[in-house]
């Protein structure tokens, strides 16, 4: 039983909205600025995996401290994502459901099983 199974998107969006409102920060939260903040946090998240091999990066889950650090960066990324949704009035659940319908059509399961592209012959990815 995790917190995610009982927490709605709106509840988390509200936490972000309250934080911004209490500091009168909406003036800084133009969509342009928030999109920059989001990209910067995504880079900070990526930094944790920068010098690891692709397979080595899976082992990070076994290190509680590193996992907590990554969780914090991920929280920043999702937090700014919700901040942007708040500023622009985007319903996140609808946007994700609509995009996944497109993705299902673009990547039919029977044609893309085990392949990330039509050109993928499996060599480049499975090599170390």
- Binding residues among 84-103 for its own copies as defined by CB under 8 A: 84-85, 87-100, 102-103
Residue 83 touches its own copies, criterion: CB under 8 A = no
Cα gap 63→49, rounded to integer Å: 13
List the one residue out of 72, 76, 69 whose CA is nearest residue 19: 76
For tokens 């927490």, what's the residue?
A: 7
List the one residue out of 37, 125, 48 whose CA is nearest residue 87: 37
Closest CB 116 distance from its own copies, rounded Å: 5
Q: How many residues bind its own copies (CB under 8 A)?
A: 95
Given candidates 64, 65, 105, 109, which one binds its own copies under the rule CB under 8 A? Answer: 109
Cα gap 45→100, rounded to integer Å: 24
Cα gap 121→6, rounded to integer Å: 41
Given candidates 5, 65, 118, 121, which one binds its own copies under the rule CB under 8 A? Answer: 5
Residues 8-37 interacting with its own copies (rule: CB under 8 A): 8-13, 15-16, 19, 22-25, 27-28, 30-33, 35-37
Residues 52-81 interacting with its own copies (rule: CB under 8 A): 52-61, 67, 70-72, 74-79, 81
């Amino acid at each position: 039983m995790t917190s995610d199974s009982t927490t709605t998107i709106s509840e988390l969006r509200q936490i972000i909205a309250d934080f911004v409102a209490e500091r009168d920060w909406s003036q800084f939260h133009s969509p342009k600025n928030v999109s920059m903040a989001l990209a910067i946090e995504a880079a900070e998240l990526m930094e944790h995996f920068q010098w690891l091999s692709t397979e080595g990066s899976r082992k990070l889950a076994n290190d509680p401290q590193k996992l907590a650090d990554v969780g914090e960066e991920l929280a920043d990324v999702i937090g700014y994502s919700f901040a942007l949704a708040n500023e622009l009035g985007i319903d996140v659940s609808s946007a994700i459901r609509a995009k996944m319908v497109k993705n299902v059509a673009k990547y039919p399961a029977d044609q893309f099983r085990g392949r990330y592209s039509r050109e993928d012959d499996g060599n480049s990815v499975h090599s170390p």
